[in-house]
Amino acid sequence: MGENEDGEIIEHHVNEEMEKRHLTRRAGSFSEGAKRHSSTQSSHRLLAYSDALISIIATVMILPVAHTKIQENEELKESLQQLLTTKIAVYLMTFLIVTVAWAAHIRLFQVIERIDDCLALLNLACMMLITFLPYTFSLMAAFPENILGILFFCGCVVVIGLIQAVIVLYGFSQPFLLNDQIQVSENLAFYKKHILKVILRVPVFCFVAIIFSLIFPPMAYVILAFVIFFPYISQSLKWCHSKAVGRQVETPESMLFYSYHPNEPLSKERVEAFSDGVYAIVATLLILDICEDNVPDPAEVQHKFNSSLVVALQEFGPEFLAYFGSFATVGLLWFVHHSLFMHVTKSTRLMGILNTFSLAFVGGLPLAYQLTHEFTRNSHNELEAIQISCVIIFFAGIFQLAIWVVALFSQRETLHPCVHYGGQDHAFMLAKLALYPAVALGTFFITCVLSEFSAPVFHLTQIVVPVAFLLLRLLVRVALAVLHWLFCPHRPTMLDLQGYDPALCP
Amino acid sequence: MGENEDGEIIEHHVNEEMEKRHLTRRAGSFSEGAKRHSSTQSSHRLLAYSDALISIIATVMILPVAHTKIQENEELKESLQQLLTTKIAVYLMTFLIVTVAWAAHIRLFQVIERIDDCLALLNLACMMLITFLPYTFSLMAAFPENILGILFFCGCVVVIGLIQAVIVLYGFSQPFLLNDQIQVSENLAFYKKHILKVILRVPVFCFVAIIFSLIFPPMAYVILAFVIFFPYISQSLKWCHSKAVGRQVETPESMLFYSYHPNEPLSKERVEAFSDGVYAIVATLLILDICEDNVPDPAEVQHKFNSSLVVALQEFGPEFLAYFGSFATVGLLWFVHHSLFMHVTKSTRLMGILNTFSLAFVGGLPLAYQLTHEFTRNSHNELEAIQISCVIIFFAGIFQLAIWVVALFSQRETLHPCVHYGGQDHAFMLAKLALYPAVALGTFFITCVLSEFSAPVFHLTQIVVPVAFLLLRLLVRVALAVLHWLFCPHRPTMLDLQGYDPALCP
């Protein structure tokens, strides 16, 4: 049976290939441009490189937060307040805006599927401006009354918008670069108009914001917030309108792209590439610092530590512990994400948003781990740092779980059958996704009660969780068997009924 | 004709799909293990994540080099000497060793093509140890007489080797995880023995190095160098032997993997992913520093610059210029790399090594750009910094060109027909690859002659090169036409003969 299914999946691939070929031919027959024009290329690698750049930029603003020195005598709460006010806000805002820019980039290159040299160079120019955005936020945060930060920001966004418009115009002037569906559609002009309208909305609003920033700066911030949330507002208004009038306003088929509907498809490949980038940067953030700062000074070792390098390195013990702890946690969260997206067949915009929230918390993890080892044993600060770590892990995990829950609502389209309700791997996937939130919540409450054992408990979880992941399949089967034996001992087990067949799963 | 070729390419894909399916069935029919076992997965994303991690780690040691403060009154040569002795050596050594570890990782996962949860977790453990290697180098460089650095390094390598051996044993115990070719081969046991022998050689040598480091430390370094160059030495010895004896010692078909032959295939996808990672990190290195260090202090702006943020930011002008310059150069080098690998159909180990050399120079670019803007106008230091930048760009570009030259030697296997000798895009590809080395060499000699205009010349090239890339196809056609007109005005042009047809190219 498994083999059969395998065969079917591949058959499907073959059909897809044939369909593509058919489309290519159809497209080729009417687009004479392809003949005349320079060599076109698949955009796959350009997008992978863009994803790598954007994921670095999205996480970069955690560095100033992580490098804020916390004094030992100061209470953690006070320094946290100082952090919270500006640096963390800048980090979160950068993460939000950069992921919005990334989503716009995905939309654009879902329409333009093939590139040539000219588009590749335009995209690089666009990337250069996107990587400059975090700096404008730092300026805005450091000088809230000065309009220079917002001017820089709006200027960048206007130019990015214009470059994107040029990319669209260029793409539509040479239709063989476009998505196959658009390429063969009748109303190419309608598409072009709709997409240009959506893209140019942002630079126009930003231009208005520039004008307002010269007259009445607060209004400029309001306009910028409006630009970001405009698609969501208009979607909600449409939804309310459809409820009030009573009939469903269906998104027409022609609006497949740039519809801003929560079910709008979001290239799964790019969500994975972006997440991989963020997880990789975050996992290595601490080793970057360690390599630069924690190599002891030869002169100091000679005088202070009596030439004993081992003793000198023991000073840095907490940093190493923090590194291995955060690498393991980020690595395992990546592992959960990887397992989840292995079973996702189509990702939607809503799932993308939840993924962004999860990643934003993951970005804070190295910082939290560094804090847990920076304070004296059993101090109040240490307890709070450990609890903050638990909270961050909890939210990073719970948003991953939320992606799956959202996907389950339209499971036929978005999930592989074996993790559907009643699917053979449903319980296993739930266990994988729930393990980290459950452990984090448990650790949080245990440290509340047994505050003097908080550090040992925290370290214990760091050792137990990887082992739990290794044995998870076994544990889930035992748990299911026990539940079955407790509640309905006379019926055959779920597993027997389904004829457990892992070959069905990807 | 173009359409026809397109059709053929897709036909080929379909055939591949069918072959795979056939293989899967064949494999499925004898590996009963698949039935019993937990869900297996394609390893694609695991490898992408590993590539991202390894590319970050390979480039991280450039940070201590870039953050070395150079005094204005000091001559650049002296500070460079100080840099060259330790930090640059550590950077290059890290880059070398990490890429060796990465090549070993590629070999391993060319044999093991499918993964399950257990392998994914083992791989994460392996990655954690690889990311720790740069730190051990810093220790070795800072404390050359202390054996702790080399002990740490050998310890990490021994554990990495053992984990890889466990992965191989696990893979061969469940043959459906293996490469299809190995899976269906008769002598599975021979493969297993050969691969384990190659993998375990490294930890055994390192173990010997640990013992020597306790008795006679210099010997330990010699052994480590021997481990790295062992495959190359044995290959050369084999080659010499075959020349001396007079007959060709052919690598048997069964040694397709782990043969260390210069033509050994190296997954093209992973070479691209690793290069993308390095280019992305290097392109953003300067903005990371700028975001952290170059936001002016509000109090300072008020006192020193009379509350004028614009004036305060002008102080950082050179940093911004360096950022945009290095981003554009790295971006365009990526663009050349992308164009080259778009036409590569199979990458070999020798091409991988040349690519590594090119990337190692790319890693030094942000540093060189930073230097060009750090000194006073028309100083001797500025001139030298500009010349160093030219040298780095030249070598980064010339190694890219070398990849193509090496590929041309076996062009039937490794290159797309349109860039073969006499192919329609041969001249265009040569122009793309030669543009940066030529411009860098030209700028170098111009600055030697017109030393007082070095900065304007350098800035001019930064503006001219992107425009040249945009217009390159046009320029090449004009140049070809002129050459044709000059040398053989009576024959029809090459372009006419070939019936210029870009649809043939990818």
Q: State the burial class of residue A377 (Cβ atoms within 10 Å of its Cβ: 0-12, 13-18, 19+).
A: exposed
B54: tokens are 């390894």
Check residue A417 and give its pLDDT. 86
Neighbours of B145 (CB within 10 A): 8
Q: Search chain A and give the residue with CA nearest B132.
A: A287
* Residue B455 CB-half CA count within 13 A: 16
Query: Pick the residue with more confidence: B153 or B80?
Result: B153
**DSSP code for B175:** G
Judge if A236 and A371 occupy the same domain: no
Q: Search chain A and give the residue with CA nearest B280.
A: A53
Q: Is A506–B41 a contact, with Cβ atoms under 8 angstroms apart?
A: yes
Dihedral in degrees, nearest 10, Cα atoms B140, B146, B151, B157: 10
Judge if A213 and A307 occupy the same domain: no
| Angle of CA points B277, B331, B97, to nearest 5° | 35
| Angle of CA points B204, B206, B211, to nearest 5° | 100
Q: Is B7–A17 a contact, with Cβ atoms under 8 angstroms apart?
A: no
User: Which residue intervals of B174-316 are DSSP H helices?
Assistant: 180-184, 188-215, 217-245, 268-293, 298-304, 309-314
State the nearest Cα–Cα gap between B423 and chain A, in angstroms: 13
A22-31, B264-273, B374-383, B449-458: the lowest-pLDDT one: A22-31
Q: Is residue A404 predicted with pLDDT exceeding 90?
A: yes
Check residue B83 and give its pLDDT. 63
Neighbours of B321 (CB within 10 A): 15
pLDDT in tens, A73-124: 556 666 666 666 677 888 888 888 888 889 889 989 988 888 888 899 999 9
Query: Pick the residue with more confidence: A226 or A432?
Result: A432
Q: Is residue A29 predicted with pLDDT exceeding 50?
A: no
CB within 8 A of B237, min separation 6: which ones? Answer: none
Of B3, B34, B292, nearest to A503 by CB-CB distance is B34
Tell me how far apart the terminal alpha carbons of chain B are, to the nearest angstrom: 14
Query: Pick the residue with more confidence: A25 or B96?
Result: B96
Measure the CA–CA gap between A385 and A390, rounded to whole angstroms: 9
pLDDT in tens, A173-198: 988 888 888 888 878 888 888 889 88
Check residue B501 and give its pLDDT. 47
Is B53:B131 a contact under the CB 8 Å cutoff?
yes
Q: Is A295–B53 a contact, with Cβ atoms under 8 angstroms apart?
A: no
Q: Is B14–A10 a contact, with Cβ atoms under 8 angstroms apart?
A: no
A199: tokens are 């893209």
Q: Is residue B261 predicted with pLDDT exceeding 90?
A: no
- φ/ψ of B343, rounded to 5, equals -100, 0
Check residue A33 and give its pLDDT. 40
Q: Search chain A and give the residue with CA nearest B142.
A: A298
Check residue B218 and give its pLDDT. 83
- Quick one: pLDDT band at residue B70, thresholds 50, 70, 90? low
Is A153:A97 a contact under the CB 8 Å cutoff?
no
Q: Is B28–A3 a contact, with Cβ atoms under 8 angstroms apart?
A: yes
Judge if B152 and B107 occupy the same domain: yes
Measure the CA–CA gap between B126 and B444, rounded to whole angstroms: 44
Helix (H) or strand (E) holding A401: helix A380-409
Q: Is B128–A324 a contact, with Cβ atoms under 8 angstroms apart?
A: yes
Judge if A319 and A202 occupy the same domain: no
Q: State the burial class of residue B490 (Cβ atoms within 10 Å of its Cβ: 0-12, 13-18, 19+).
A: exposed
Mutate to test the interface with B, among A39, A57, A67 (most CBs of B within 10 A): A39
Is A109:A237 a contact under the CB 8 Å cutoff?
no
Check residue A222 and give its pLDDT. 86
Q: Search chain B and give the residue with CA nearest A294.
A: B135
Check residue B395 and give its pLDDT. 95
Strands A114-115 and B41-42: unpaired
State the nearest Cα–Cα gap between A503 and chain B, in angstroms: 6
Judge if A255 and A271 occupy the same domain: no
Judge if B248 and B278 occupy the same domain: no
Check residue A4 and give its pLDDT. 40
Q: Is residue B282 predicted with pLDDT exceeding 50?
A: yes
- The mean pLDDT value of chain B amounts to 80
Q: Is A45–B272 a contact, with Cβ atoms under 8 angstroms apart?
A: yes
Instruction: Name every chain B residue with its beta carbon within 8 A of the beta carbon of A342.
Output: 41, 45
- φ/ψ of B178, rounded to 5, equals -85, 165
Is A444:A390 a contact under the CB 8 Å cutoff?
yes
Check residue B334 and give its pLDDT. 94
Q: Is A276–B45 a contact, with Cβ atoms under 8 angstroms apart?
A: yes
Q: Is B348 helix (H, G, I), strand (E, B) or coil?
A: strand
Instruction: Name every chain A residue with its beta carbon within 8 A of the beta carbon of B472.
Output: 117
Q: Is residue B425 predicted with pLDDT exceeding 80?
A: yes
Q: How many domains does chain A have?
A: 2
Is A98:A130 a contact under the CB 8 Å cutoff?
yes
- φ/ψ of B114, rounded to 5, equals -120, 150
Looking at residues A472-483, what average pLDDT do you find? 88
Q: Which residue in B289, B290, B315, B319 sits closest to B301, CA to CA?
A: B315
Judge if A168 and A104 occupy the same domain: yes
Q: Is B465 helix (H, G, I), strand (E, B) or coil?
A: helix
Q: Is residue A15 predicted with pLDDT exceeding 70?
A: no
B348: tokens are 């070999």
Mutate to test the interface with A, among B140, B295, B500 (most CBs of A within 10 A): B295
Q: Search chain A and give the residue with CA nearest B114.
A: A506
Of A2, A28, A291, nearest to B134 by CB-CB distance is A291
Q: Is A45–B283 a contact, with Cβ atoms under 8 angstroms apart?
A: no
Neighbours of B93 (CB within 10 A): 16
Of A6, A272, A280, nearest to B24 by CB-CB distance is A6
Measure the CA–CA gap between A216 and B195, rounded to whole angstroms: 70
Check residue B20 and give its pLDDT. 42
Measure the CA–CA gap between A241 and A229, rounded to whole angstroms: 18
- Quick one: pLDDT band at residue B69, thresholds 50, 70, 90? low
Instruction: Name every chain A residue with its beta carbon within 8 A of the beta carbon of B127.
Output: 331
B390: tokens are 């030219």
Q: How far is CA A305 from the centre of its chain?
A: 45
Query: Pick the residue with more confidence: B16 or A184?
Result: A184
Is B309:B303 a contact under the CB 8 Å cutoff?
no
Neighbours of B215 (CB within 10 A): 8
CA distances from residue A204 to A94, A197, A223, B191 in whole angstroms, order as listed: 21, 10, 11, 63
Instruction: Name every chain A residue with its beta carbon within 8 A of the beta carbon of B296.
Output: 142
Q: Is B283–A335 a contact, with Cβ atoms under 8 angstroms apart?
A: no
A163: tokens are 């470059």
- The mean pLDDT value of chain A amounts to 80
Q: Which residue has the tokens 């209470």?
A: A75
CA distances from residue B467 to A3, A9, B464, B482 in whole angstroms, order as listed: 55, 47, 5, 21
Q: Is B35–A2 a contact, with Cβ atoms under 8 angstroms apart?
A: yes
Amino acid type, B261: H
Judge if B76 and B36 occupy the same domain: yes
Check residue B412 and give its pLDDT. 86
Instruction: Name every chain A residue with its beta carbon within 8 A of the beta carbon of B473.
Output: 38, 117
Is B346:B413 a contact under the CB 8 Å cutoff?
yes
Neighbours of A145 (CB within 10 A): 8
Q: Is B135–A3 a contact, with Cβ atoms under 8 angstroms apart?
A: no
| Angle of CA points B366, B368, B374, to nearest 5° | 100
CA distances from residue B32 to A125, B175, B177, B178, B411 in whole angstroms, order as listed: 53, 9, 12, 14, 42
Strands A41-42 and A114-115: antiparallel
- Quick one: pLDDT band at residue A357, thresholds 50, 70, 90? very high
Q: Mean pLDDT highest for which of A119-128, A144-153, B18-27, B224-233?
A: A119-128
Measure the CA–CA gap between A433 and B272, rounded to whole angstroms: 32
pLDDT in tens, B106-139: 889 988 888 888 899 999 999 999 988 888 888 8
Q: Using the CB atoms, write b or e for A326-344: b if 16+ within 10 Å.
A: bbbbbbbbbbbbbbbbbbb
User: Which residue intervals of A246-316 are DSSP H helices?
Assistant: 268-293, 298-304, 309-314
Check residue B85 and give its pLDDT. 67
- Quick one: pLDDT band at residue B314, thresholds 50, 70, 90? confident
Q: Mean pLDDT highest for which of A14-23, A269-278, B284-293?
A: A269-278
* Residue A309 CB-half CA count within 13 A: 19
Q: What is the ipTM of this complex?
A: 0.84
Q: Is A10–B3 a contact, with Cβ atoms under 8 angstroms apart?
A: no
**How many residues make up chain A in this entry?**
506
Q: Search chain B and give the residue with CA nearest A275.
A: B49
Instruction: Name every chain B residue with its beta carbon within 8 A of the beta carbon of A467.
Output: none
Size of interface A-B (CB pairs under 8 A): 255
Mutate to test the interface with A, among B12, B40, B135 (most CBs of A within 10 A): B135
Query: Pick the residue with more confidence: B181 or B397?
Result: B397
**What's the domain range around A213?**
2-261
Looking at residues B449-478, what average pLDDT do you find? 86
Instruction: Name every chain B residue with its beta carbon within 8 A of the beta carbon of A8.
Output: none
Bridge partners of A114, per DSSP, are A42
- Quick one: pLDDT band at residue A496, thresholds 50, 70, 90? very low
State the nearest Cα–Cα gap between A154 and chain B, in angstroms: 16
- Quick one: pLDDT band at residue B33, thresholds 50, 70, 90? very low
Instruction: Name every chain A residue with its beta carbon within 8 A of the beta carbon of B34.
Output: 2, 502-503
A19-33, A349-363, B222-236: the lowest-pLDDT one: A19-33
Measure the CA–CA gap between B337 and B352, rounded to whole angstroms: 12
Of B6, B25, B39, nearest to A24 by CB-CB distance is B6
Instruction: Name every chain B residue with its beta carbon within 8 A of the beta carbon of A6.
Output: 21, 24-25, 28
Q: Search chain B and give the residue with CA nearest A137.
A: B291
Judge if B8 and B113 occupy the same domain: yes
User: Which residue intervals of B255-316 are DSSP H helices?
Assistant: 268-293, 298-304, 309-314
Q: Is residue B217 predicted with pLDDT exceeding 60?
A: yes
State the nearest Cα–Cα gap between B410 and chain A, in angstroms: 23
**DSSP code for B88:** I
Of A142, A272, A309, nearest to B143 by CB-CB distance is A309
Measure the CA–CA gap between B314 and B296, rounded to whole angstroms: 11
Q: Is residue B35 predicted with pLDDT exceeding 60?
A: no
State the nearest Cα–Cα gap between B323 and chain A, in angstroms: 10
CA distances from residue A93 to A87, A99, A141, A202, A480 in whole angstroms, order as listed: 10, 10, 10, 17, 43
State the nearest Cα–Cα gap between B320 and chain A, in angstroms: 10
Q: Is residue B345 predicted with pLDDT exceeding 80?
A: yes
Q: Mean pLDDT highest for which of A193-202, A288-297, B245-254?
A: A193-202
Judge if B226 and B367 occupy the same domain: no
- Quick one: pLDDT band at residue A301, thresholds 50, 70, 90? confident
Q: Is A473–B38 a contact, with Cβ atoms under 8 angstroms apart?
A: yes
State the nearest Cα–Cα gap between A389 and chain B, in angstroms: 20
Check residue A107 and give its pLDDT. 87
Judge if B231 and B287 occupy the same domain: no
Q: Search chain B and give the residue with CA nearest A2.
A: B35
Q: Is residue A502 predicted with pLDDT exceeding 80?
A: no
Judge if A80 and A29 occupy the same domain: yes
A70-74, A420-424, B462-466: the lowest-pLDDT one: A70-74
Looking at residues B176-187, what average pLDDT do you find? 82
Measure the CA–CA gap between B219 and B85, rounded to whole angstroms: 21
Q: Which residue has the tokens 């797309």?
A: B416
Looking at residues B185-199, what average pLDDT do you find? 86
State the nearest Cα–Cα gap between A474 and chain B, in angstroms: 10
Measure the CA–CA gap between B108 and B105, rounded to whole angstroms: 5
Q: Is A52–B277 a contact, with Cβ atoms under 8 angstroms apart?
A: yes
Q: Is residue B16 predicted with pLDDT exceeding 90?
A: no
Q: Is A35–B120 a contact, with Cβ atoms under 8 angstroms apart?
A: no
Instruction: Name every chain A residue with its beta carbon within 8 A of the beta carbon of B338.
Output: 45-46, 49, 120
A435-439, B217-221, B440-444: the lowest-pLDDT one: B217-221
Q: Which residue in A448, A320, A274 sits closest to B139, CA to CA?
A: A320
Instruction: Name every chain B residue with its beta carbon within 8 A of the beta carbon of A472.
Output: 117
Looking at residues B198-203, what average pLDDT do you find? 88
Which stretches does DSSP call E strand in A5-59? 41-42
